[in-house]
Copies of this chain bind each other. A is one copy, B any other.
Amino acid sequence: MLLKMPSKHTTISDQAREKSNDETAEPNHTISLREENMLTLIELFFFAYRDFTEEGDEILDTFGFGRAHHRVIHFVHHYPGQRVADLLGILKITKQSLARVLKQLVEQDFICQKEGSKDRRERLLYTTEKGNKLAEQLADPQIERFEKTMGNFSKTEQQTIEKFLFTLIRKHNRQDVISLMAQNGHFPAGKP
C-alpha cells in the first residue's frame, strides 16, 4: 500500500490538476511559508518515528510481546536498578499499565527484582541474562539504523541533531532526562 502512487489512471500531475479544479481543495490560504515548513518537519518527525518503531515489532511478536514490553526492557537494561516509580516517570504511563507488562516480564524471567538496600519497600529492577539477550536483540537494529543515519553527518552536525532532539523535550521534563542519562555518564546537549 502506497501513498498517492502514480498508477496508469492517476498520475501525480493528474492529481494536481484535479486538486486545482476543486473548489474545496484550498484550505491553506492563511498558512505562512514558515508554518508550512514547520508542518513539513512535523510530518517528517511522524514518519521517522513511525518507521523507527516498526522494526522491532517482528522480534517482539516471536515472544508474544508488544511495544510496551520493549520500552520497559530497554530502560531496565540500560539503567539497571530503577525503581518502579522511576520507570513510571520515564514512560509516563500509569502504574496499572506498567504492572501488567512488568508482571509478565518478571514471571517469564526477563526481569528480576531486588529489595532496595536503603529502603526495603523499593523493588529495584534488573534484567536477567535472558533479559539482556532480548534487550540487545531489540536494540541492535535501532542502533544500526541510527549509526547509518548519523554516519551521514559531521561531528558538529551530530551535536546539532542531539540538541534538536533534546530541545523538543518539554522544559519541565529535561532535567529528569539529564538525571537519567547521567547514570550512564551521558550528558545530552553538551558534555560538561
Contact = CB atoms under 8 A, between A and B. Distances in A.
Contacts of A169: 44, 47-48, 51
B49 A45 contact: yes
A126 interface: yes
Interface of A is mostly: helix
Contacts of A137: none
Contact of A160 (B82, B153, B177): B153
Contacts of A22: 80-81, 114, 126
A139 interface: yes
Nearest to A149: B167
A162 B9 contact: no
A149 B126 contact: no
A86 to B, nearest CB: 5
A161 B162 contact: no
B183 A16 contact: yes
B27 A127 contact: yes
A59 interface: no
Nearest to A82: B4
A118 B17 CA distance: 12
A12 B86 CA distance: 12
A112 to B, nearest CB: 8
A47 B15 contact: no
Given A41-B150, A49-B49, A179-B12, A81 B2 contact: no
Interface string A150-179: 101100010011111111111001001101
A99 interface: no
A25 B184 CA distance: 11
> When A and B form their complex, which 5 residue pairs have the shortest distance between CB atoms, in order from nearest?
A48-B168, A44-B165, A3-B176, A3-B89, A38-B146
5 contacts: A1-B85, A1-B88, A12-B179, A15-B183, A48-B168
